[in-house]
Structure 1
Amino acid sequence: MAAKFITLDGIDGAGKTTQLNVIQEWFTAQQLPVVFTREPGSTPLGEQLREIVLNPASKMTPKAETLLMFTARQQHLDDVVFPNLNKGINVVCDRFTDATFAYQGGGRGLPYAQIAALEQWVQGDFQPDFTLILDVPLEVALQRIERSREKDRFEQEPAEFYRAVRETYLQRAASQPQRYAVLNSNREKEVVRQDIFNLLNQLFER
Structure 2
Amino acid sequence: MKGFISLEGIEGSGKSTQVKLLAGHLRAKGHNAIETVEPGGTNIGLKIRALLLDPRNHMDPLTELLLYYASRAQHVREVIYPAILKKTIVITDRFTDSTVAYQGYARGVDLSLIRALDEIVVPDMKPSLTFLLDLDAEEGLRRNRQARKEDRFELEALEFHKRVRTGFLQIAKEEPERVRVVDASRSAEEVSAEIIKIVEEVWH
* Shorter-chain TM-score range: over 0.9
What is the alpha-carbon root mean square deviation over aligned residues?
1.4
Shift of 1:18: 2.0
Counterpart in 2 of 1:53?
52
- For residue 10 of structure 1, what is the amino acid of its counterpart? G
Counterpart in 2 of 1:138?
137
Which runs of 5 or more structure 2 residues have no equivalent in the other structure?
none
- For residue 63 of structure 1, what is the amino acid of its counterpart? L
- For residue 106 of structure 1, what is the amino acid of its counterpart? Y
For normalisation by structure 1, the TM-score amounts to 0.94
Shift of 1:29: 2.2
Shift of 1:82: 0.7
Which runs of 5 or more structure 1 residues have no equivalent in the other structure?
none
For normalisation by structure 2, the TM-score amounts to 0.95
Shift of 1:141: 1.1
**Superposition map of 1:118-157 within 5 A:** 118-157=117-156
How high is the sequence identity, in percent, across the aligned residues?
37
Stretch deviating more after TM superposition (73-82 or 183-192): 183-192
- For residue 20 of structure 1, what is the amino acid of its counterpart? V
Q: Is the 8 A contact 2:2 2:128 kept in 1?
A: no
**Superposition map of 1:11-26 within 5 A:** 11-26=10-25
Q: Is the 8 A contact 1:3 1:88 kept in 2?
A: no
Alpha-carbon separation, structure 2, partners of 1:203 and 1:30: 15
Counterpart in 2 of 1:95?
94
- For residue 180 of structure 2, what is the amino acid of its counterpart? A
Shift of 1:144: 1.3
- For residue 194 of structure 1, what is the amino acid of its counterpart? A
Shift of 1:58: 1.1
Counterpart in 1 of 2:177?
178
- For residue 6 of structure 2, what is the amino acid of its counterpart? T
Counterpart in 1 of 2:167?
168
Q: Is the 8 A contact 2:19 2:92 kept in 1?
A: no
Write the deviation string for residues 39-62 of structure 1: whole angstroms up to 9, x where unpaired: 111111101000000011112100
